[in-house]
């Protein structure tokens, strides 16, 4: 038997957590710290672990995804999930309104609700007495698939509605779009590329692939999002227009797209189109157009639906970001770490105002998986700021004269044999003296991720290397104003500026210098860890693999790569030359944010200082402190009598620091 007070506490926690989840995900306006949320979450989880009968379908702990399903079950929709008719220009918009006027037998001015058209997947959600009980895909519009456990992992789908004073019906059926934002999509594809798995062509496919996972735990990891845009039955809700429905749904706990607008007449609709098109690339998710809906529900009723789509709404599509063109050749590019990336050379094609001539093919596996050939007509896509990519060949257009794409066995620049790492999709040139790698390393060193020398962008570095002025990093610091000023496209002023920027860059913090070297597996964070642990370049150059492995946060791969890099005589010569040119590497100083990006959790008692003091120090050094265990925690500091948190943190593979190790870490900072 569960004691009454425990039951009440669990209810209270669920309510609070659901509310904070809403503040965070739907309103983007949290009212408590993450740490506090984590603490409430842990308390509920602990109660539910002790008393499994307390678990309810709306418990926020259910969002992590339950057991895998063996198959999706079919569900009939309460009313058909319709599609939308598309229009592509202003003339078609006029025709749309003329038709509305004909159907309504009146020329009355019409008011439209205009919403971005999300490029994701339509789903239906059923709430009974305020609880989310069933979620389904659109399927064929009449029958979809039951994906309730998968949908429960989507953070902005409320598991329980905030019903108080909202007049919600006993059964509420809403419809909306599940989508993956651009950032989540890029991350997912990066992970898949690293794992040698096939990439998703666009966020929409990413969302679809993630939602139709029989194992909802996989869905949970994909960070899907949701916007509601309709109810199945407008008679069941206390609203009389679409523009009232949105605020009502928001108050119930749903996320609604904030870029919606009530438009009086077509001129305003057209303005809205221009506006949405202009912000399209800046939005964190993809939209492929906008939906124009007659605002008034009574008019919607009178207009009714065809078998396929409502008469009262239309999708005004944006120009395609996809286009077809032909692959006329393939270039193999060698990157800074030697990775060879195939790039398709295309017949130039205009995609939404930008002429595309090249598109990435990612790697050899991707070429094989998509079965691409030279001469193929292909579908390409350009989205936001990402590099255009080839999606697939148009097989029907093959003539038989297409040629296979042959991945070279040797580096196209230096001729050294290429190597494929075990379990890697990437094929590399491993010649450390390869000029292509050297050029990319120089670009990296001078660029924003490196020491950031203004005026020495990609083009300038290429030019300096072609002119033979720069071959290796120390050469930057040997540049003379006269040499630069006589180069094509340079002048006195730009030469002077670059020389001044180089002079300033000569005093560089250790972490920045290490990061700028572009050592494989050593990014900004690792460089920071190394700098705060070793504090001097000499110590790093003298370190063994074991020494590197002693640094918390540095693994086998980075340690190996560091040893290889610093034991190479040419590295040592390069560093000596730099020092001879007057470059000074500055040790990390106190006040530098050496703990930036790390999240600390304390457990047990510290003997040398109070908990608050320790927290203060972490914050001063740029770290964060939380009070509950969550996926965000990077370091657990275990004092005396550390309890269950220590055990759980170990199980999760979180870095554990003793008090002594913690003191060493912060004292170095």
Contact positions vs ligand IVH (CB under 6 A): 82-84, 115, 117-118, 122, 177, 229-230, 291, 310, 313, 315
End-to-end alpha-carbon separation of the chain, Å? 52
Asked whether the CA dihedral 432, 435, 439, 442 is positive or negative, the reply is positive
Distance from C-alpha of 489 to C-alpha of 27, rounded to nearest angstrom: 50
Q: Is 117 a catalytic residue?
A: yes
Distance from C-alpha of 327 to C-alpha of 335, rounded to nearest angstrom: 22
**Measured from the CB atom, is 289 or 338 closer to ligand IVH?**
289
Minimum distance between the CB of residue 383 and ligand IVH, rounded to whole angstroms? Answer: 17
**Measured from the CB atom, is 173 or 313 closer to ligand IVH?**
313
**Measured from the CB atom, is 205 or 341 closer to ligand IVH?**
205
Minimum distance between the CB of residue 259 and ligand IVH, rounded to whole angstroms? Answer: 10
**Measured from the CB atom, is 16 or 288 closer to ligand IVH?**
288
Distance from C-alpha of 537 to C-alpha of 579, rounded to nearest angstrom: 11
Minimum distance between the CB of residue 177 and ligand IVH, rounded to whole angstroms? Answer: 5
**Measured from the CB atom, is 140 or 613 closer to ligand IVH?**
140
CB atoms within 10 A of CB 35: 17
Tokens 């199980």 belong to which residue?
651
Minimum distance between the CB of residue 570 and ligand IVH, rounded to whole angstroms? Answer: 56
Which residue's CB comes closest to ligand IVH?
Answer: 122
**Measured from the CB atom, is 154 or 558 closer to ligand IVH?**
154
Distance from C-alpha of 634 to C-alpha of 437, rounded to nearest angstrom: 34
Minimum distance between the CB of residue 303 and ligand IVH, rounded to whole angstroms? Answer: 11
Minimum distance between the CB of residue 162 and ligand IVH, rounded to whole angstroms? Answer: 22
Minimum distance between the CB of residue 84 and ligand IVH, rounded to whole angstroms? Answer: 4
**Tokens standing for residue 520:** 């494989």
Q: What is 432-482 written as a DSSP string?
A: TT-HHHHHHHHHHHHSTTTT--TT--HHHHHHHHHTTS-SSHHHHTT--HH
- Sequence-distant (6+) residues with CB within 8 A of 291 are 84, 114, 115, 116, 117, 229, 313, 314, 315, 316
**Measured from the CB atom, is 310 or 342 closer to ligand IVH?**
310
Minimum distance between the CB of residue 207 and ligand IVH, rounded to whole angstroms? Answer: 11
State phi, psi for 522 to the nearest 5 degrees: -115, 90
Distance from C-alpha of 303 to C-alpha of 653, rounded to nearest angstrom: 59
Minimum distance between the CB of residue 232 and ligand IVH, rounded to whole angstroms? Answer: 9
Beta strand residue intervals within 302-410, DSSP E: 313-317, 322-334, 340-351, 354-360, 373-374, 377-381, 389-393, 403-404
**Measured from the CB atom, is 86 or 333 closer to ligand IVH?**
86
**Measured from the CB atom, is 230 or 453 closer to ligand IVH?**
230
**179: which strand partners?**
225
Give buried/exposed letters for 542-567 (b at 16+ CB in 10 A, else e): ebeeebbbebeebeeebbebbbebbe
Minimum distance between the CB of residue 335 and ligand IVH, rounded to whole angstroms? Answer: 38
> What is the maximum alpha-carbon separation in the chain?
87
Minimum distance between the CB of residue 138 and ligand IVH, rounded to whole angstroms? Answer: 6
**Measured from the CB atom, is 308 or 504 closer to ligand IVH?**
308
Q: Contacts from 468-472 at CB under 8 Å and sequence distance 24+?
A: 470/442, 471/438, 472/438, 472/442, 472/574, 472/577
Residue 360 burial by Cβ neighbours in a 10 Å radius (0-12, 13-18, 19+):
middle
**Measured from the CB atom, is 306 or 570 closer to ligand IVH?**
306
Residues 138 and 121 sit within 8 Å (Cβ to Cβ): yes
**Tokens standing for residue 159:** 């598991």
Residue 669, SS3 per DSSP: coil
Minimum distance between the CB of residue 310 and ligand IVH, rounded to whole angstroms? Answer: 5
Q: Contacts from 214-217 at CB under 8 Å and sequence distance 24+?
A: 214/68, 214/69, 214/70, 214/71, 214/72, 215/65, 215/68, 215/69, 216/65, 216/66, 216/68, 216/69, 216/149, 216/150, 216/152, 216/153, 217/64, 217/65, 217/66, 217/68
The active-site residue, picked from 15, 67, 99, 117, is: 117
State phi, psi for 640 to the nearest 5 degrees: -70, 150
**Measured from the CB atom, is 313 or 356 closer to ligand IVH?**
313
State phi, psi for 24 to the nearest 5 degrees: -75, -55
Distance from C-alpha of 168 to C-alpha of 127, rounded to nearest angstrom: 10
Task: Please report which helix (H) or strand (E) contains residue 599, including its range.
Answer: strand 599-603
Catalytic residue set: 117
């Amino acid at each position: 038997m569960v004691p009454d007070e425990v039951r009440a506490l669990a209810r209270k926690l669920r309510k609070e957590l659901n509310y904070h989840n809403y503040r965070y995900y739907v309103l983007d306006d949290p009212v408590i710290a993450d740490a506090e949320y984590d603490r409430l979450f842990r308390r509920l989880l602990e109660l539910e672990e002790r008393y499994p009968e307390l678990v309810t379908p709306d418990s926020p702990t259910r969002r992590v995804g339950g057991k895998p399903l063996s198959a999706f079950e079919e569900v009939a929709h309460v009313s058909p999930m319709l599609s939308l008719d598309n229009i592509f220009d202003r003339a078609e918009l006029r025709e749309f309104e003329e038709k509305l006027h004909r159907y309504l037998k009146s020329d009355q001015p019409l008011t439209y609700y205009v919403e971005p058209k999300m490029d994701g997947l339509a789903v239906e959600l059923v709430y009974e007495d305020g609880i989310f009980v069933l979620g389904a895909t659109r399927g064929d519009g009449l029958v979809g698939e039951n994906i309730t456990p998968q949908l429960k992992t989507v953070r902005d789908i409320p598991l329980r509605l905030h019903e108080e004073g909202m007049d919600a019906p006993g059964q509420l059926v809403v419809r909306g779009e599940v989508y993956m934002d651009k950032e989540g999509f890029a991350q997912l594809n990066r992970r898949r590329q690293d794992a040698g798995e096939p990439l998703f062509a666009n966020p929409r496919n990413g969302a679809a692939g993630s939602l139709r996972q029989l194992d909802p735990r996989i869905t949970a990891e994909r960070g899907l999002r949701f916007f509601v845009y309709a109810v199945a039955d407008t008679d069941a809700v206390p609203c009389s227009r679409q523009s009232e429905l949105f605020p009502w749904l928001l108050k119930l706990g749903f996320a609604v797209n904030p870029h919606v607008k009530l438009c009086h007449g077509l001129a305003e609709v057209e303005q809205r189109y221009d506006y949405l098109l202009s912000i399209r690339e800046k939005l964190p998710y993809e939209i492929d157009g906008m939906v124009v809906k007659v605002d008034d529900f009574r008019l919607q009723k009178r207009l009714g639906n065809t078998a396929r789509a409502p008469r009262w709404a239309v999708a005004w599509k944006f120009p395609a970001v996809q286009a077809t063109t032909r692959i006329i050749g393939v270039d193999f590019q060698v990157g800074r770490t030697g990775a060879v990336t195939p790039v398709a050379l295309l017949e130039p094609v205009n995609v939404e105002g930008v002429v595309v001539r090249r598109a990435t093919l990612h790697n050899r596996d991707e070429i094989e998986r998509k079965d691409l050939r030279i001469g193929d007509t292909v579908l390409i896509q350009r989205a936001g700021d990402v590099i255009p990519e080839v999606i697939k060949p148009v097989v029907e257009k093959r003539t038989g004269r297409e040629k296979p794409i042959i991945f070279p066995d040797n580096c196209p620049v230096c001729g050294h044999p290429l190597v494929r790492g075990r379990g890697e999709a990437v094929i590399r040139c491993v010649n450390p003296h390869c000029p292509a790698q050297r050029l990319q390393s120089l670009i990296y060193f001078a660029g924003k991720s490196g020491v950031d020398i203004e005026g020495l962008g990609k083009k300038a570095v290429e030019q300096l290397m072609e002119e033979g002025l720069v071959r290796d990093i120390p050469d930057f610091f040997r540049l003379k104003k006269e040499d630069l000023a006589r180069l094509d496209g340079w002048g006195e002023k730009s030469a002077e500026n670059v020389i001044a920027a180089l002079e300033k860059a000569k005093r560089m913090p250790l972490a920045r210098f290490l990061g700028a070297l572009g050592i494989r597996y050593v990014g900004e964070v690792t460089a920071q860890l190394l700098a705060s642990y070793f504090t001097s370049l000499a110590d790093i150059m003298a370190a063994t693999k074991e020494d590197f492995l002693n640094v918390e946060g540095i693994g086998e791969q980075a340690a190996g790569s560091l040893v290889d890099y610093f034991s190479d005589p040419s590295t040592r010569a390069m560093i000596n030359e730099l020092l001879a040119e007057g470059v000074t590497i500055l040790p990390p100083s106190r006040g530098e944010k050496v703990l930036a990006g790390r999240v600390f959790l304390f457990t047990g008692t510290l003997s040398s200082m109070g908990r608050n003091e320790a927290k203060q120090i972490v914050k001063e050094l740029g770290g964060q402190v939380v009070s509950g265990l969550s996926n965000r925690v990077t370091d657990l500091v275990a004092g005396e009598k550390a309890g269950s948190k220590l055990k759980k943190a170990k199980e999760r593979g979180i870095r554990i620091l003793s008090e002594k190790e913690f003191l060493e870490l912060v004292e170095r900072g």
